[in-house]
Structure 1
Amino acid sequence: MKAAPETGPNRSGTRYSAADKLKAVELYFEDGYQAKDIARELGIGKSSLGKWIREYREKGSDAFTSPPEKSAAAAEKSDPAREFVRAQILEHKAAHPDHGIKQITQIFRRFLGLPVKTHEVRSVLQAHPSSSTATTSRTRRPPAPMRFFERRSPNELWHTDVMYFIMPNHEKVFVISYLDEINMSWRSLLPPA
């Protein structure tokens, strides 16, 4: 076995040029180095090197020099059906500025039969910000004040609680409890103010 080639420090996290990929593959095929030694010395991941070797076997050196094929995302962007859906989302938001992302998604799915996903609607609206299409965050209402239900005389207000548990023999046992409000002061359970 030949000794591994002498090279510089690790380059992990770096994008490799076509020349770097070709050099690594040539070390494997022409010089007879083992893949693990090449990966270690050049600072390349073993899976990346394996992928480059497979591509070289299939296409030769053109695998690294020819432009890459369109990705699924790029193909989707040029799809006329997708462009139509994008235009419809923007028109709908302009006509109904109070509709949010989830509401638009549900309307398109249920009523228009268009298979739109929430992240698609969000990305379309974020890519075309304007006064009519920008999504606004809702202001939250303050919580309602706590209400106490206390009565002055017996039998004016009852509390009911229903629960069940399963016995070891797999029977369900229901426990139903009733409590007359007059006998319990909720305020006594709260910490002092």
Structure 2
Amino acid sequence: MGQRELLLAAEAFALPFYTEPHRAYHNADHVRAMLDALASRGLLTPVLSLAAWGHDLVYDPRAEGNEERSAEVFGGWLREQGAPPELEADVRTLILATRHVAPPTTRNEALLVDADLSILGADSQTFAAYDAAIRQEYSFVPEEAYRSGRARVLRSFLDRERIFSTSEFAGLELQARTNLTATLEHLQEKNRPT
């Protein structure tokens, strides 16, 4: 199977996962936004395309280990397609980098992670829609617990020296910090007793 055929097949394989009804943000639009973010900067490669389609393949907001399970399912699919073991390994490593638990260690990891986080640097209206979609995905979490957990996540990004690792995405840094700070303040205001 040629590269183009593999990429088309990957999208076809992944789309049913991304149309699950509980996905308000982690859907095909998110993957396409990542692909567009990379392509518009002249950075999109086949391995990054595959990793983007695979990175949120399994998404259950009630469970841990979504990226690991995504890497397993997508890796199994790549094997079935006869993809070289080194391609499968590269895609797995990239998918696991989107856990956002450690700084990226390679250029490709940094690019995929920055593309995944690029929504943080979107205009305030787009960011607000993203934030509302995340709340929808976690609608099963009581409001106070959600605000506390969400604040912790947002603060973890703000506490970084830099949110974006690559020069190509560095232009999003200021807007991302503005969005995160405003949202964090809003979450904390709701937590204050009246």
TM-score calculated relative to the size of structure 2 = 0.20
Higher RCO structure, 1 or 2 (CA under 8 Å, sep 6+): 2
Structure with the greater alpha carbon radius of gyration: 1
User: When you count helix as a share of all residues, which structure comes out higher?
Assistant: 2
Normalized per residue, which structure has more strand? 1
